[in-house]
Chain A
Amino acid sequence: MTDEEAIQRVKEGRVDAYEVVVQVHQRRLRSLVAHLCPPGVDPEEIAHRAFVEAFDKIDAYQEHTNFFAWLASIARAMVLVELRRIRNETRKHENYLQHLVADSVEAEVHMGGDQRTALLRDCVGSLPERLRSMLEQRYTHETPLTAIASRLGSTVAAVKFQLFDVRRKLRDCVNRKLLTHG
């Protein structure tokens, strides 16, 4: 069953078909939302709420248009509410990091924000296997640094250094691609 067929069934009252819709779009949406949320705002909760909101308003979705774009617009609206709330708070100094990220991403939320995550995916794909494996252990499985070091026959300090280095390389790669692709 395609997601379009699943959406049609959801509109007909088949609630279970929505599971297919969530499975098809969840990774891309979670990644997009995670990229836009400042500290103190839980991207998983925003993504969760966006899916639920989309379900509630499924009748408003026009068939054969881009469902992900519609879903992402719901999520972005929720992120914007959070960003504005943070910016309206007066305790900027106390929550400096939260404000720093919130101030930086609002324009990008308006523009879409999906391009950077797509480029990041490309950049991760071009990493050597050893570095990609290290990232997966750290970010996907949340493996402790001591365990990663043990598996790689390395030290915790060396793993920390390599992780920071690969984070910076990924950032440079994304920025380079952004310049190239406009």
Chain B
Amino acid sequence: MDEGEFEHLLSEFFDGDLDAGGAIELQRLLEEDPARAALFVDLFRQSRALAPLLRPEESTFTRAVLTAVQRDERPFVRDVMTTVRTRRARRARPWVMLGAAAALALVAFASRSQPLARVVASGPRVTVVRDGRTLAAPAGFALERGDTLNTPAGETARVVYVGEKTHLDLEPLTELAFASRENEGKRLELRRGEVQAEVDHQPAGRPMVLQASHARAEVLGTRLKLSAVPDATRLEVQDGRVRLVRGRDGAAVEVSARQFTIADEDAALVAEPVLPPTSTPPVVTGFSLMAVDGPVSVPGFERLSDGAVVDLRVLAGRRFNLRAFTAPERVGSIRFDFDGDIGFNTETKAPYTLVPAARYGQSSWTPLPGRHTITATPYTGSYGNGLAGAPVTITITVVGDAP
């Protein structure tokens, strides 16, 4: 036995890249040599201990703030405090339920017949719904047909298919369901959130199918990112080609490497180039009232500055929307907050408008008379992800009757 091959398998295991065949081979090698088993045990325990050990000290405040976005110690403290307060208030015993969930997960893990895929990395609150029961899904958890994997806020999960290199990365607040019947092939339903997939070459005529609210992606072997929100489905392809089929009318588009498309209720289904990565935050340069029958500004409202007055009598008979301008002209997304409603709308496609067409079945904005505050925050990524630019706020006063 070549020790180099053993070390390669170990390395793949600790990097979460070991496939089912490799796992069997690794087990065989560990069973036949106690020295190898001792090395594995030491490295396993060391790996588990490293994450808590490597967290920044309290004194390195700046560094901690910078890293807090990715991983923060405070949620752990908050979780404990939440449980403590709940126990004090209700005298309940939530850990019993947590323990039961973990035990059920282990029983399920142990009694699986033939796992479809395996969770290889996950946060402590990641769960699987199986036959109506909610189970904890730690690393090593075997996924079966019909399972639904859920990631909570602030936690992610990685899933690797057994016997191939296909893996899926679930972003926080994602719900992903695995098809329950074998004859459905490799079919997944993204009910909400975002999943990044690196899909191994699939057999001809049997693509992996990722179904979301407004469309399905048919994948033969590629790297992609699929996002599902109530209003739309967004597909971004990093490598290869993916066919996206819109649910409502069967319209399809081929999306190539470094392209994306959005399927929603009204817009044309077209592939567009992905914005190149940038380290410069985008900027909101201004606002206007935009005519809905074309992306041109309503005369007299080409620039809507803070404190502007919008007289609806002047606009009588016109349908319009509020639009934000950005630099660069195309950004990943813009989040609009409206009269204290944080996240009133997030637009991923230009022109960036306050009121989305799909949400209300119309693309016009009909404000009530009075003062309104609008804040627009630009992002380099879709749906408020990536680097954020500075929010820009304007307050406008609407007078007159609605047109």
Instruction: Please state if A142 and B95 are interface contacts (CB–CB under 8 Å).
Output: no
Q: How far is the CA of A76 from the CA of B80 in the complex (A)?
A: 18
Please classify the interface of chain B as helix (H, G, I), strand (E, B), loop, or mixed, using the class held by over half of its residues: helix
Q: Which residues of A contact B50 (CB under 8 A)?
A: 120, 124, 135, 139
Q: Which residues of A contact B30 (CB under 8 A)?
A: 96-97, 100
Please classify the interface of chain A as helix (H, G, I), strand (E, B), loop, or mixed, using the class held by over half of its residues: helix
With A48-B80, A100-B37, A124-B50 as given contacts, are A140 and B138 in contact (CB-CB < 8 Å)?
Answer: no
List residues 73-101 of chain B with CB under 8 A from any CB of chain A: 73, 76-77, 79-81, 83-85, 87-88, 95, 98-99
List residues 100-155 of chain A with CB under 8 A from any CB of chain B: 100-101, 104-105, 116-117, 120-121, 124, 135-136, 139-142, 144-145
B201, CB-defined interface residue at 8 Å: no
Q: Which residues of A contact B56 (CB under 8 A)?
A: 140
Nearest A-chain residue to B56, judged by Cβ: A140
A47 to nearest B CB, angstroms?
A: 8
Q: Which of B38-46, B306-314, B350-358, B363-371 contacts A (4 or more CB under 8 A)?
A: B38-46
Q: Which residues of B contact A73 (CB under 8 A)?
A: none
Instruction: Please state if B54 and A140 are interface contacts (CB–CB under 8 Å).
Output: yes
B83 to nearest A CB, angstroms?
A: 5
Instruction: Please state if A96 and B31 are interface contacts (CB–CB under 8 Å).
Output: yes
B124, CB-defined interface residue at 8 Å: yes
B71, CB-defined interface residue at 8 Å: yes
Assuming A22-B80, A39-B139, A45-B124, what are 11 further A-B pairs, CB within 8 angstroms?
A: A26-B73, A27-B52, A27-B53, A34-B45, A41-B102, A48-B76, A48-B95, A49-B95, A49-B98, A116-B45, A171-B42
Which residues on A are within 8 Å of B, measured CB to CB? 15-16, 18-19, 22-23, 26-27, 30-32, 34-37, 39-45, 47-49, 51-53, 55-56, 89, 91, 94-98, 100-101, 104-105, 116-117, 120-121, 124, 135-136, 139-142, 144-145, 160-161, 163-164, 167-168, 170-171, 174-175
